[in-house]
Amino acid sequence: MRKIYNPDRSEWKAILRRPTQTVADIEQTVEAIFKEVRDHGDASLRKYTEKFDGIVLEDLVVSEAEIREAADRVAPELKKAVQLAKNNIEVFHKAQKTERVSVETANGVHCWQEKRAIQKVGLYIPGGTAPLFSTILMLAVPATIAGCEELVLCSPPDKEGKINPAILYTAHLCGVGKIFKVGGIQAIASMTFGTESVPQVYKVFGPGNQYVTVAKQIATKYGIAIDMPAGPSELLVLADDSANPAFVASDLLSQAEHGVDSQVILVSTSKDMVDAVEKEVEKQLPRLPRKDIAEKAIANSKLIYVEDDRTANDLINAYGPEHYIVCVKNEDFFVDNIKNAGSVFIGNYTPESAGDYASGTNHTLPTNGYAKQYSGVNLDSFMKSMTFQKISETGIQEIGQAIEIMAEAEGLQAHKNAVTLRLNSLRNQRM
């Protein structure tokens, strides 16, 4: 990991740059696959599944027999762990429900807001080197609580044409009714346009590599909403001398093992902590089964020393981390002053892994600095707010003249007339 001491603010942008390609670098590839999926449906999905996943599939749909077989292959202790995590995620997301907001803005003018579920949602679940069955919990659980009517799940098959058993078991446990063996760009395209097998959805959720991230962004050009731009994983740890260097190193490595384009950063006001964490990373890294992946991610990562808390907080807000661990004596200052982060983990005994799996918070979070503009997935992500209003005879007389004046000032005579006719009708009734 590269050590950086007291970087000048003018250098922050370059130092904090993510190791990702820009949309322009891969947009042409994504657009080409989107066009083919739109024009040729399932045939194009089979073509790209063979090209990218190395398997020829006749049927893209996961059968009930495959789901039953998968359930038998999942160890009892894993089933128990998944159920515990599901329970905690349900508790946290059910608590996010809100009541109808209702108010009389003026005499006889009643306005209210209600939330309604998005009817059709698509869930993308990465497979590959790390089959993220935990992401199903993070997406399907709140979608079900919200009341979404149709859940469509796409995940890439392995070389044998199968989806990881834990993914199928978890999807079935969460009530996902439609599961397809489709991955990558073509999966996002299939849910965007719909094919003979895969239904079109209204909003797509789920993390993925840079190609999936760009594919989701391209999907918005075709009228499909997305949860957020969620690409390669990242973690920033803030630690001073009160932190445990071994814990900090383990957290950094936990994100580094996600993928070669992941990024982890340590920010510290202690040079001793910077040195201690560096040694711990070197000590722990060789023991990891995914050492080769983590090593490449570590090459993109940094250990940054700054002199004071205020500078550290400004640097962290400038970065806007997906995951942010705070292990310092002055934790209240940093918790109170963080403005840009996907999810915050506080204290020596709050590893980022807890949020990834079982604490109850959602792990689908904005990356690549998008934490400055986007929230992580939550119950409201699967809902939309609708406003209602009902105006009585008294109410239209209360606000009618103001509407007429404003409409005329904007040159919209028909808008004015819609009110004037009603007001005149009421005047005639009184005569």
The pLDDT profile of the chain, 431 residues, written as one tens digit per residue, is: 899 999 999 999 999 998 866 667 789 999 999 999 999 999 999 999 999 999 999 999 999 999 999 999 999 999 999 999 999 999 999 999 999 999 999 999 999 999 999 999 999 999 877 789 999 999 999 999 999 999 999 999 999 999 999 999 999 999 999 999 999 999 999 999 999 999 999 999 998 888 998 999 999 999 999 999 777 889 999 999 999 999 999 999 999 999 888 999 999 999 999 999 999 999 999 999 999 999 999 998 999 999 999 999 999 999 999 999 999 999 999 999 999 999 999 999 999 999 999 999 999 999 989 999 999 999 999 999 999 999 999 999 999 999 999 999 999 999 999 999 999 999 999 87
**Domain boundary at 360, 384, 411, which?**
360
d(CA 29, CA 1): 32
From the candidates 234, 257, 280, 323, give the one annotated as an active-site residue: 323
Q: What is the CA radius of gyration of the chain?
A: 26
370 within a domain of the structure (yes/no): no
Write the pLDDT tens digit of every residue in 231-275. 788 999 999 999 999 999 999 999 999 988 899 999 999 999 999
> In the prediction, which pLDDT does 232 show?
82
Question: Is residue 373 assigned to a domain?
Answer: no
pLDDT score of 261: 87
203 and 238 share one domain: no
**CA torsion, ordered 277, 281, 287, 292, to nearest 10 deg:** 160
What is the structure's pLDDT at 231?
Answer: 73
User: Annotated catalytic residue: which of 257, 322, 352, 363?
Assistant: 322
Q: Identify the CATH number of the domain in which residue 404 sits.
A: 1.20.5.1300
Q: Do 189 and 222 sit in the same domain of this protein?
A: yes
Q: How far is CA 172 from CA 205, 218, 235, 318, in A?
A: 18, 29, 31, 41
What is the pLDDT, as a whole number, of residue 225? 98
Q: Is 415 annotated as a binding residue?
A: yes
- Pair (297, 345) in one structural domain: yes
Residue 209 assigned to a binding site: yes
Q: Are 169 and 80 in contact (CB under 8 A)?
A: no
Look at residue 1 in the predicted model and tell me its pLDDT: 87
Give the end of a domain, one of 228, 260, 288: 228
Q: Report d(CA 294, CA 276) in Å as an integer.
A: 19
For 352, the domain range is 2-19+232-360
**200 and 346 co-located in one domain:** no
Does 356 show up as a binding residue in the annotation?
yes
Q: What is the pLDDT, as a whole number, of residue 333?
A: 98
pLDDT of residue 22: 63
Give the three-class secondary structure for 323.
Answer: strand
Q: Are residues 348 and 417 in the same domain?
A: no
Q: Do 145 and 238 have their domain in common? A: no
Q: Is 322 a catalytic residue?
A: yes
Is 323 assigned to a binding site?
A: yes
Give 2-11 pLDDT, tens digit per residue: 999 999 999 9
Same domain, 237 and 347: yes
pTM above 0.95, yes or no: no
201 and 253 co-located in one domain: no
Residue 384 lies in a domain: no
**Coil/strand/helix, residue 117:** strand
The reported pLDDT for the residue numbered 21 is: 60
Q: Known binder of ligand: residue 186?
A: yes
**Same domain, yes or no, for 47 and 10?**
no
Residues 150 and 101 in one domain: yes
Query: What CATH number is given to the structural domain containing 318?
Result: 3.40.50.1980
Predicted pLDDT of residue 431 = 76
User: How many domains does the structure of the chain reveal?
Assistant: 3
